[in-house]
Structures are given as C-alpha cells and as structure tokens.
Amino acid sequence: MLAIRLTAEPDRLDTVALPVRPGTDDAAPAEPVPTGVVLPDGVADEAAALAPLGRFAGRAGEIRAQLRPGRIPARLLLVGVGEGDEAAWRTVGAALVRATRDETHVTLALPAGVSPEAVRGLVEGLLLGSYRFRLGVDSDAPALTGVDLAVTDPAAYEQAVAVARTTAEMTRLARDLTNTPSSVKNPQWFADQVAEAATDLPELRLRVREPEQLAAEGFGGILAVGGGSASGPRLVELDWHPVEARTHVVLVGKGITFDTGGISIKPVPAMKLMRKDMAGAAAVVAATLGAAALRLPVRITTLAPLAENMVSGAAFRPGDIVRHYGGLTSETTNSDAEGRLVLADALAYAVRELKPDLLVDLATLTGANAVALGTRTGALYSDNDQLAKDLLAAIDAAGEAAWRMPLPADYVEHLGSDLADLHSAPTQGGGSVLAALYLREFTGDLRERWLHIDMSAPSWCERDDAELTRGATGWGVRGLLRWLATLS
Ligand code: BES
Ligand code: MN
Ligand code: ZN
C-alpha cells in the first residue's frame, strides 16, 4: 500500500502537485487554490500562469503536467479539485495516483484550511485508486510508493488520515478476497484469511464451524449448498464486543466461494465471474475488522456462511427440501438460488441465538439487481424507514450507491410451497425483490430491525473509474464503516 504522510515541511520535491479550482463563474478561468505551504521560489507564480491556459477547467481529477528539466520541482502538476468537497477529493486522489504511476513519489500541497473530511476523501482516493490485484510476477507494477500531503497544521488531519487508511485497507482486503480465484479460495481458505487478518486485533473473537458442527446444530441450508463440493462449508462468526457498547449489530454476508449454479448449472457467460459470489461475506468481515481497528463503541457479531455451490454426485438437487437452522423448510426448485439458503440459516441463527438490536445482510444475491439498477447501485430493502435512511446516508457519504426497493405485501404469496414452509426460487419475476421477501421470512421477531442489500451489481466493475479499479470493488465496506461509526 502507498505510504501517505502529512508534513508541514515538504522535503521531497521532484514532483509537486498544486490544487486548482474552477473560476468563480463559467467565463472565469481556473485558478490555483492558496495552500499556505512554503514551496520553492517561483512555483506558485508558475502555477498561476499555467492554470488559465487552454481548456483546463479545474474539475475534480483533471490534471495538467508541466515538465521543468533541471529545476525543482522537475515536474509540476496542476490538479483540479472541482467543488472541493469530500467526493471531489476522492476523485482527485484516484486521478493523482494514476497520473503519477511512473513517478516514485509525489508531494501534494493542500489548500489552506481544507476540511478533515476532504482529506479523508483524498486519502481514500489515493489508496483505493492505486489498488491492483496481480498474482505472480507483476511486470507492470506502478513505480509510485509514497505521497506526501503538505499542510500547515498536520496534527489537524492525523485522525482523518487514520480513519481513511483503515477504511481503504479494509476495502482493499475485501477486494483481494473477492478477486482471488476459487482454486485458492475455498471456504476454509476464507476462514483462514479472516483469522490472519484478525491476528493484530486480539479482542476480536473468531469461531469457525466445520460441517460436523453445522450438522449437529441444524444448519441445513449451508450443508445442502456446500454438499456438492470437495471443500466443505464453514460458518465464520466474528465478534467485536467493546465494554462500552450499548447497541448490538449482527452483520451477515453471503459467502459462496464459487457459484456454478449447482445441478441447475449456469451457462458459460453467467458463470465466468462467480468467484465474486462471496463479496458480501468479504464486505461484512472487512467492515468488522475495520470497526475493531478503529475501536468503534458498538458490538458487532458478523456471520459469514461459506460454501462452494458445485455440481457433483453429492450436490443437492432441485426439488430437495432443506431444513434450515431453527426448523423452517424450503423447497429448492433451482439449485442456483443457493445464496438465500445459506443466508436463511445465518439469519435464523442470529435471531434465535444472538438477539441483536439490528440485523443487516449483504449478498450478491440476484442478477436482477443489475437489471433493475444498473452496474453501480445496490438494492436496499427494509421495513424500517429509519434504518434504511441511515444506511442510505452512510453509503452515499462513503461514495457508494444504493437505492431503496419495496417489499410488496402482495408478492409474499409467491413464496408459498405445497411441500415446505417456503419456496426458495419462485418464478414470478422481480428476482431481487422476491429473494428479499424470502430472506425476511427468517428474521422472526427482528423483522422490523432487519435490512438487506443485494449488491450483485456494484460488487464488481469492468473498468477503472475514479477510486474503483477493474475487478472487485469492495463495495459495502466503506458504507458499513460509516454507518457503524454513527452507532454506540
Ligand atoms: N450468485 C448469483 C447472483 C449473481 C448474478 C451475482 C450475477 C452476481 C452477478 C445467485 O446465486 C443466482 O444465481 N441467482 C439467481 C436466482 C434465481 C435462480 C432465482 C439469478 O439471479 O438468476
Ligand atoms: Mn446462484
Ligand atoms: Zn450465488
């Protein structure tokens, strides 16, 4: 990860970046933002002369480079900061690391009096925009290793930088877990990664249930879905329990380490990215690790039901009836609707055994998420208006996106089965909505304290875009951490 340093006396001046904002009205040219930082003679004047030239508008992330051979700095960058709010600075950070990937170091002078929130956005942009996932020899690795942020009063920003660093580090962990190929990433591997990531946080309690234990306690959904794989299922349970906590949140994340669809096998194009089908588990685990690292005063128990949905002689079949934790049964007409089966067990367990104040689950649950909302927006469901509002606000502030969807009462009848309590894969359409309604059946007394996000779409992106990098996005980590930080 890039080394980010706050400094009042910038001393690495090979490449210096200065902020530039749009002119005060449409006709006015872009202009440098005063920084208060002491820079080599003539640099500020040169920036002021360069800013108004040509089409440079000072939009967030717009960059103009000036080479100055034999002088200090040898490279001067004008960096557009647009509105100068947190979101703009996130874009600036990501653009800057891309523009300087072939430099070893860059010093960015920050505007005098810049807000800590803006610096948080900037640091998240720097650390997320420079993320890469590569296995093996990386022949095209960026040269950039460090960014110095020059400010007059570094102490005012230490906290914002620390929070941003933890947030980005955990988002990067979620990306790593999700990008990892499924030849490596089986349920036990995922549990091992959680254990490893938690070693620096000794107060975090981790329990991993193996198939024997899952059978003894009746986790029939996890066992059915995991039954077809040579790598057996697991249930990860992480607990962050600070003494001062007054609220207990349970987070649940779908952890299908590969989804072939099972016997109801997926066609080639639909299967090729199904290593990402544990992105919900990655997000809730990473957010919990982040909450513990930041010592947030809220109790968080995190459940990651992990299974590989495979095709084999031991796989569960369409038409099988699964008995979930707690006793509810599902008729499974489509083995590709596996996520809800493992989540149902975890939700029922949370409701019966953990009895939290709030219950939130994240899952790459249906292709219908993208049909309804496109590629960047999660589908959020809850009967609790306040909870929905709070999560939406946190997600939005964090730079992620979700949209609240309905849970229509008159669709509930589609979940009916002649043979079991519920039908796991109704065919009436509205796939993301029906999946949410199915999950709600397992929330018991906590129905009004539950929130679900179908994050199939935003868990992945096809191209670099601001702080997102091609592949896994780590979606949910940033929004969850912001929301958790508002609880106590
Ligand atoms: N993991 C998939 C959903 C998915 C699709 C995630 C595309 C990310 C991108 C899930 O297990 C699934 O297969 N859902 C089915 C449900 C259907 C069988 C009721 C779907 O969406 O088609
Ligand atoms: Mn599936
Ligand atoms: Zn799936």
CA distance 230 to 414: 34
Stated pTM of the model:
0.97
Residue type for position 391: L
In which band, very low, low, confident or very high, does the pLDDT at 152 lie, cut at 50, 70 and 90? very high
Q: What is the mean pLDDT of residues 151-155?
A: 96
Reported as a pLDDT band with limits 50, 70 and 90, residue 430 is confident
Pocket lining: 309 vs ligand 1, CB cutoff 6 Å: no
Task: Tell me, yes or no, whether 129 and 238 share the same domain.
Answer: no
Confidence of residue 436 (pLDDT cuts 50, 70, 90): very high
For ligand 1, atom 21, which residue shows the shortest CA distance? 366
Best residue among 260, 331, 335, 336 to mutate for probing ligand 1's pocket (most ligand atoms within 8 Å of CB) is 336
CATH code assigned at 262: 3.40.630.10
Query: Which residue has tokens 């108004």?
Result: 52
Task: pLDDT band for 429, please (50, 70, 90 cuts).
Answer: confident
Both 131 and 185 in one domain: the answer is no
For residues 182 and 110, membership in a common domain is answered with no
Last residue of a domain, one of 151, 177, 212: 151
- Residue 247 sits at φ, ψ, to 5 deg, of -115, 140
The domain boundary residue, chosen from 119, 151, 183: 151
Asked if residue 316 is part of any domain, the answer here is yes
Q: Is the CB of 467 under 6 A from ligand 1?
A: no
Report pLDDT for 428. Answer: 82
**Residues 104 and 241 both lie in one domain:** no
Looking at the CA of residue 427, tell me the nearest atom of ligand 1: 19
Q: Are residues 172 and 140 in the same domain?
A: no
Q: Which of 175, 185, 340, 482 is catalytic?
A: 340
Best probe residue, ligand 1, of 343, 366, 434, 462 (max atoms within 8 Å of C-beta): 366
- The torsion region of residue 70 among left (phi > 0), alpha (psi -120 to 50) and beta comes to left
How many whole angstroms separate alpha carbon 25 and alpha carbon 22?
Answer: 8
Residues 265, 375, single domain; the answer is: yes
- Please state the atom number of ligand 1 nearest to the C-alpha of residue 339: 11
Q: Is residue 325 part of a domain?
A: yes
Using one digit for the tens of pLDDT, what is the confidence trace for 286-333? 999 999 999 999 999 999 999 999 999 999 999 999 999 999 999 999
Q: Is 443 in the pocket of ligand 1 (CB under 6 A)?
A: no
Does the beta carbon of 336 lie inside 6 Å of ligand 1?
A: yes
**Which one, of 394, 392, 361, lies nearest residue 483 by Cα?**
394
Catalytic residue list contains 234: no
Is residue 161 one of the residues assigned to a domain?
A: no
Q: Are residues 136 and 173 in the same domain?
A: no
Confidence class of residue 3 from pLDDT cuts 50, 70 and 90?
Answer: very high
Does residue 158 form part of some domain?
A: no
b vs e for 238-277, b when ≥16 Cβ sit within 10 Å of the residue's Cβ? bbbeeeebeebbbbbbbbbbbbbbbbbbbeeeeeeebbbb
Beta strand 75-80 with 63-67 is antiparallel
Q: Could you say which of 101, 121, 151 is where a domain stops?
A: 151
In a domain, 157, yes or no: no
pLDDT digits (tens, 9 = 90+) for 224-247: 999 999 999 999 999 999 999 999
Active site residue 266: yes
> Is residue 26 over pLDDT 90?
no
Burial of 363 (0-12, 13-18, 19+ CB in 10 A): buried
> Does 223 score more than 80 pLDDT?
yes
Point out which residues pair with 109 in neighbouring strands: 150
Q: What is the pLDDT of residues 332-365, one digit of tens each?
A: 999 999 999 999 999 999 999 999 999 999 999 9
Q: Give the distance (Å) from ligand 1 centre to CA of residue 336.
A: 7
For residues 287 and 366, membership in a common domain is answered with: yes
> Which of 391, 381, 327, 362 has its CA nearest to residue 457?
362
Catalytic residue among 5, 68, 98, 266: 266
Q: In this structure, are 178 and 127 located in the same domain?
A: no
Of 105-114, 164-173, 421-430, 450-459, which gets the smallest average pLDDT? 421-430
The total of structural domains in the chain comes to 2
Pair 336, 277 in one domain? yes
Query: Best mutation site among 365, 423, 475 for ligand 1, i.e. most ligand atoms within 8 A of its Cβ?
Result: 365
Residue 289 maps to a domain: yes
Is position 427 within any domain? Answer: yes
CATH number, position 136: 3.40.220.10
Q: Rounded to whole angstroms, how far apart are CA atoms 324 and 331? A: 11
Tell me the angle at which helices 158-179 and 477-484 cross, rounded to the nearest 10 degrees. 140
Shared domain check, 117 and 172: no
In a domain, 48, yes or no: yes
Please give the share of the chain, as a percent, with pLDDT higher than 90.
96
174, 322: one domain:
yes
Q: Range of 219's domain?
A: 167-486
